[in-house]
Structure 1
Amino acid sequence: MQIIEVHTKSRPSTVLCGAGAPEAASEYLRGAQVFVVTDSNVARLYSEKIGKLFPGAPVCVIPAGERHKNRTGLFRILDGMLNARLHRSSVVVAFGGGVVGDMAGLAAALYMRGTR
């Protein structure tokens, strides 16, 4: 697993990538309010694992594929974040590939001027 520390003016962030990353993220985020974003393909294959890694966390499933990287998907995520009553110290976990990461990252940046 690769751990990448990103330092910005506002606050540092930790990115976990590779084998073992989901388990490490689960341990690292224990006690935090977590919101999971994934796509329909990943949800079909790993929904049980997501539930075990982040028990009680709301999960937002967006359609899979690059063509779904649009405002409809973005608003689905933002609506889910609002319904979950996330706050600025909440953590958004992107559980999937590039589209999921892009969409979850944008939503996290927009929601309340930035969540973790």
Structure 2
Amino acid sequence: MPLVQVSLRRGKPAAYHQAIFDRVYRAMRETFNVPEDDRFMAITEHDASTFSVSPTYFGIARSDDAILLQLTVSNTRTREQKQALYRRIVEVLQESPGLRPEDVFINLVEVLPENWSFGHGIAQYVANKS
């Protein structure tokens, strides 16, 4: 159920993109109990003129390799699970594709379970509930 949207600067190879997909999915499975095959992700690349990330906000030195990860999730996770997810995403992206921890910006957008439809125009999470 998480919908993952990744924004980054243009120019990375397909293997770099795939590593991001695979590693973020792995982190979600390990910390958020995301089921097998629950994988909905997109990467959007930007030219330098359409991608702006503060190089120093909060005293964090970011490079041109910074990425923005926005995950839309159901509002069912604890604060501890969220913090574990943030840590794990940074760990696995550092392993591959080799992102610096300073370059990983993560934002969670929480929505109610009835705000999801996975097809057929049905809100699957609430369709069978009274």
Q: Which has the larger radius of gyration?
A: 2
Q: Same fold (TM over 0.5)?
A: no
Q: Which has the higher contact order (CA 8 A, sep 6+)?
A: 2
TM-score, structure 1 as length reference: 0.31
TM-score, structure 2 as length reference: 0.28
